[in-house]
Structure 1
Amino acid sequence: MPDQLPQLVPTLGTDTRDWVFGDPAGQPVVLVHGFRGDHHGLQGIAEALAEALPTLAIHVPDLPGFGLTPAIPGREHDLDLFGEWLVAFTEQVAPGGGMILGHSFGSLVVSSGLAQGARSTRTVLINPISAPALEGPQALLTQLAIAYYRVAAALPERGARAVLGNPLIVRVMSEVMAKTRDRELRGWIHDQHDRYFSVFADSVSLLAAFRASVSHTVAEFAAAYDMPTLLIAGERDDITPLAKQLDLTRLLPDAELLILPGTGHLVHYEAVGDTVARIASFVDPLRAAAFASAAQPGPAPETAGESQA
């Protein structure tokens, strides 16, 4: 479907671009995308969730410095800044509180925001960053990525953009993360990365955000999770090992974990149906059950691959 126009939400001296799905006057839900993504990455989840629970107002903003949202003027784009931004944004679109969801780097933004006072009645983390980037199965790739961003940051802006947006590098990244064997879906994932992975404000704020993404884990902010929390992890996630997701689930006081077999770090692309079904039942079990029954009679899809700890 054609991209709808965003609303402008004043936050920390700039206007955050925010796309709203479902009922704009409904119960607010905020979806926070990952590093180098924008609202397109979570649009499929937003649309499906709005269909399952049409009374929700689902906000999908572009993070500061990504997509169409400008960088915050005069600020270093570290994790504290992103958390402060989330507090400001949720105060505007969900002043009475609402559900907050974060994917990948978005899970760190959510964690930092919660620690700084963002109000979430229920929290969902998809592919949360639960292990230090330099200690996981892709530690070598992380080291190479650090060198890559440092080289880009040392170049003039035009040269930096050429390096950071190099189509071959973007495609290699996409090939590594995509786990689906469906050729059509895989091609669509690559197209999404080709279109939106290199839309950022400037190389300086991008480098700061990258440093934030590899320097923190959700576990650092465990004390801020005093609400029911749903973790959703891909069985084949290369960025955070499944064992670390289990450890995080045990660390949080009121958490449950959904493991999706055969998927990796791109749950938001490869397993939208199962992900949304589980989120919907987490938000509103009765409405979600009625929708699932009407749409597809039979066992609920979220039971497959689910593990609670």
Structure 2
Amino acid sequence: MSTAAEHRLPLVLLHAFPLDSRMWDDVRAVLAEEVRLITPDQRGLGTAPLVAGDAAAPDADLAVVAADVVALLDRLGIERAVVGGASMGGYAAMALLRLAPERVAGLLLVDTKSEADQEGPRQARFDAATRIEAEGSADWLAAEMLPKLVGAATHATRPAVVDRLRGLIDAQPAAGIAWAQRAIAARPDSTALLRDAGLPTLIVIGEQDELSPPETAERLVELLPQGRLEIVPDAGHLVPMETPAAFLAAVLPWLAERRGL
């Protein structure tokens, strides 16, 4: 027997790097009242293993993550879903659109961007992956990333968010972090993919986001036939954790318009 939740709009939310699906905890309950919410851990992070049994690790490629999501949708009996992601999760959503466009009914892109890394940032990711494999990440990765992961307002007024983020970063397996770094570095530019897909797309960006700046999102949304942009004040690169009420205020009306897809 099917439940009422199974007839709601399916929404897949993919998490940021180097976190896991707990980043959605502050918005989970409200979203779950409106949609069929699916928040997997990316392979190698959170509770998701990097490999099954004694198999070799797959090549570091977000297409692998996209294939994992397709397999999950198959297990749940879901043909099409709105697919969303924050930061790395947005890159994975674009990889899913590239792999299986027929499974994507709309896109919710949060604090992410369509461009590939330039050579300098790409090499920095490879170098970080090598360092993580050599010495782990608990003693340095959070300290290095936190200054830019959240906005100035969060650092000044929401210390609990910063502390929680530090704990999430420190909890991730080193092998999964290194694999994700290499997969992000290898991603292609997805600007033309998003433009040509013509899907309903909501872009949510923190006003203080240094990693995916609002001006980058403004240029992208102009290319999207059904694109919409929401810039959230007093937030940086992780809007759902920094200002969950503002995130929900931006997202819920757009999701309501997607009912029936």
Provide TM-score, normalisation by structure 2.
0.83
Which amino acid in 1 is paired with 2:200? P
Structure 2 counterparts to residues 215-230 of structure 1, below 5 A: 215-216=186-187, 217-219=189-191, 221-222=193-194, 225-230=197-202
**Change over 3 Å in CA distance of 1:174–1:266 after alignment to 2:** same
Which amino acid in 2 is paired with 1:189? V
Q: Aligned partners of 2:76 and 2:208: how far apart in 1?
A: 35
SS in structure 1 of the partner of residue 158 of structure 2 = helix
Does the Cα contact within 8 Å between 1:236 and 1:264 map onto a contact in 2?
Answer: yes
**Structure 1 regions of 5+ residues with no counterpart?**
1-21, 288-309
Partner of 1:178: 150
SS in structure 1 of the partner of residue 230 of structure 2 = strand
Structure 1 stretches of 4+ moved >6 Å? none
Q: 1:200-244 CA distances to partner (integer Å, 9 max, x unpaired)?
A: 3442x4323212223434425325633211011112211123222
**Change over 3 Å in CA distance of 1:77–1:183 after alignment to 2:** closer
Larger radius of gyration: 1
Provide TM-score, normalisation by structure 1.
0.71
Q: 1:1-31 CA distances to partner (integer Å, 9 max, x unpaired)?
A: xxxxxxxxxxxxxxxxxxxxx9466432111
Partner of 1:147: 127
Identify, as 1 or 2, the structure richer in strand. Answer: 1
SS in structure 2 of the partner of residue 251 of structure 1 = coil
* Larger relative contact order, structure 1 or 2 (CA cutoff 8 Å, min sep 6): 2
SS in structure 2 of the partner of residue 92 of structure 1 = helix
Q: 1:244-281 CA distances to partner (integer Å, 9 max, x unpaired)?
A: 21221122231111112332212121221122122111
Which amino acid in 2 is paired with 1:151? R
Partner of 2:159: 187
**Structure 2 regions of 5+ residues with no counterpart?**
none
- Sequence identity (%): 21
Q: Does structure 1 residue 105 correspond to structure 2 residue 105? A: no
SS in structure 1 of the partner of residue 30 of structure 2 = helix
Residue in structure 2 matching 1:120, options 96, 104, 109: 104
Does the Cα contact within 8 Å between 2:61 and 2:186 map onto a contact in 1?
Answer: no
Q: 1:140-184 CA distances to partner (integer Å, 9 max, x unpaired)?
A: 7x765543322233x2xxxx32xx111x54134213322253568
> CA RMSD, aligned part only?
2.8
Partner of 1:210: 181
Residue in structure 2 matching 1:87, options 47, 50, 70: 70
- C-alpha deviation, 1:36, in angstroms: 1.4
Does the Cα contact within 8 Å between 1:86 and 1:110 map onto a contact in 2?
Answer: no
Aligned residues: 250
**Change over 3 Å in CA distance of 1:146–1:236 after alignment to 2:** farther
Q: Aligned partners of 2:153 and 2:117: how far apart in 1?
A: 26
SS in structure 1 of the partner of residue 50 of structure 2 = coil
Q: Aligned partners of 1:55 and 1:242: how far apart in 2?
A: 28
